[in-house]
Amino acid sequence: MGTLQFLLLCVVIFLPETLAFPAQLRPESWSSIDLEKVKGYLDKFFPVFSKTQNLSIEERIKEMQKFFHLTVTGKLDTETEEIMKLPRCGLPDVSEYQTLPGTPKWKKTNLTYRILSYTSDIPRKNVDNAIKRALMVWSDVTPLHFRRVYGTQADIEIRFARREHGDGAPFDGKGGTLAHAFGPGEGLGGDAHFDNDEKWSNVDKDINLFLVAAHEFGHSLGLDHSNVRGALMYPIYSYQNPETFKLPADDRQGIQKKQKQKVNERGRSKLLHTLSTPLCCSSHCNQEVTKQQCSMAWCSVLPHTCILPSKSCGPCTSNEKWYYWQERRGTMPLTKFSQVRNSSATREHN
């Protein structure tokens, strides 16, 4: 067989494979609509920082797919497109700070909140209750205390708004972004805004206000989004029964790390709650305590020292009616708290 005939035979034999193989490697063609849609989503929720500024659009999609535990293709496939359509929080999924020491957090444990406006979807008393319960999700596992105020500026200002509402982060109408909140700080810091174009609910239909509010208040306290499916701070909304809701471990660990809250040996935090301000915050205590208007005071056994969760406030007088402390064995906090009233002790166990 001549050389030319041999070459022609090779072409005939291998032509189908040589044509098919490059087609598998060729990047998916982007329409202008697809490109605009993907870039808009990435810019909003996976913004470019100094360490990612040189990534291509395909590489940025891969980062998003990794975050959501999708098949990593770098393409706008069906799975990726579906996740982009789901209702979610309006904050980015990546940021330049993590839940580590030195990241944004409140420098106090007693925070105020104010509800500036309401949705017409739910009776006002039900909105009030949903907001209160959503804040309790976090106060139940930290030393934080939330007090509602009226007619004066609060640490956490809460309102329902539509489209552009003055904070540089306009809502997008029904679906898409449900709400957003700002991390601890002055001005907008701590504030939580809810899209009034959504259909809000306090039951198991539409968008449940309690669940969304609890998520947003995590941001108000300085938490980022989590990529753990099932976590409250996961950015995609999913319904859970509010009546049986329990803060997942990932969120609890995150906020306790943020607050430097010690947990007991079983990995759970136990806080002694009171319905009113303990009398240890009276004028008998150091002035710093009353200035902070603390809702919970802690006293060590010896000496009796009033302690806010993050700050020693000075001695209490011996005629104080209530003392609180966490008992220890060596360096390990025990799973109980003690309270003393007029020299008689009671204990609350886990």
Q: Is 216 a catalytic residue?
A: yes
34 is in an annotated binding site: no
CATH of the domain at 166: 3.40.390.10
**From 17, 81, 82, 216, the catalytic residue:** 216
Q: Domain for residue 15, yes or no?
A: no
The whole model's pTM is what?
A: 0.66
Question: Residue 224 annotated as binding?
Answer: no
> Looking at 259, 288, 322, which one is the last position of a domain?
259
184-187, long-range: CB within 8 Å, 24+ apart, which pairs? 184/104, 184/105, 184/106, 184/220, 184/221, 184/222, 185/104
**For 117-221, where are the E strands, in sequence order?**
145-148, 156-161, 177-181, 192-195, 200-201, 207-208
In a domain, 243, yes or no: yes
Secondary structure of residue 46 in the 3-state scheme: coil
Q: Which domain holds residue 201?
A: 110-259
Is 128 in the same domain as 217?
yes
Task: Please provide the average confidence, as pLDDT, over all residues in the chain.
Answer: 72
Confirm whether residue 349 is marked as ligand binding: no
Whether 75 has a pLDDT exceeding 70, the answer reads yes
**More confident site: 340 or 172:** 172
Name every residue whose Cβ is closer than 8 Å to that of residue 332 and which is 6 or more positions away in sequence. Answer: 265
Same domain, 131 and 231: yes
Could you read off the pLDDT of 256-301 as tens digits, one per residue? 998 874 443 233 434 333 323 333 333 333 333 333 333 333 333 3
Q: Are residues 116 and 174 in the same domain?
A: yes
Residue 42 belongs to a domain: no
Q: Is 180 annotated as a binding residue?
A: yes
Annotated ligand binding at 69? The verdict is no
Mind listing the pLDDT tens digit for each residue in 195-209? 999 999 998 778 999
Residues 254 and 283 in one domain: no
Residue 97 in any domain: the answer is: no
Q: What is the pLDDT of residue 48?
A: 78
Whether 172 has a binding-site annotation, put simply, is yes
Q: Is the pLDDT of residue 47 over 50?
A: yes
Q: How many domains does the chain fold into? A: 2
On whether both 303 and 345 belong to a single domain, the answer is yes
